Structure 1
């Protein structure tokens, strides 16, 4: 269960970073280039756009991998899963039941003469 908690924390961190990287990008493809100026020599704006694009894909792939590994670690921790409940399974009986016997008839007690 500890591994699942670690994966959960990592997934939350990656999701937060992915949200930040996506929010920084411009929806029309400009991204930070419109904010930092139109010239490509000034601050390497084209490199910034490439970095944001690559980091989005990297974080997305990392998120999928973390989700898959957390799923595996969550299922492997529960190793005592039973498909069939023992109480529901009854063994097959092959014995023939014994015939019903009647109780022996009781005789009335004879009176013992009093002395």
Structure 2
């Protein structure tokens, strides 16, 4: 599961870079790197960046759903965490309240003179 989380972070950073490189008018950082080449010009760079953005977005969805599936199935390799064990031990209060279920407090003890 840790691998999937690290993979998700890497994909998110790559997606952010892809979005920042793009320029809606076709210029931006992609235009400066291509020079005057017709083989990989501004239009083609825009297409590649746009397709890459959609592919990274689809990967984010797939990896996120994978993380959710693994987490719900309890696929942790280290077993239950200490926090989960502590939560399992704690008693949850009644949503109605404990007004009539608790015993009254004992009367104070009077000191002997």
TM-score range, shorter chain: 0.5 to 0.7
Q: In structure 1, list runs of 5 or more residues that go unmatched.
A: 79-115
**Deviation for aligned residue 1:27:** 3.3
**Deviation for aligned residue 1:50:** 1.0
Looking at secondary structure, tell me which structure has more helix per residue.
2
Q: Partners in 2 of 1:28 and 1:63 — Cα distance?
A: 26
- After superposition, the CA RMSD in angstroms is 2.4
When normalised by structure 1's length, the TM-score is 0.55
Matches within 5 A, 1:1-115: 4-31=1-28, 32-33=30-31, 35-36=32-33, 41=38, 43-45=39-41, 46-77=43-74
Counterpart in the other structure of 1:88: none
Aligned length: 74
**Deviation for aligned residue 1:36:** 4.7
**Deviation for aligned residue 1:6:** 1.1
Q: Partners in 1 of 2:54 and 2:37 — Cα distance?
A: 23
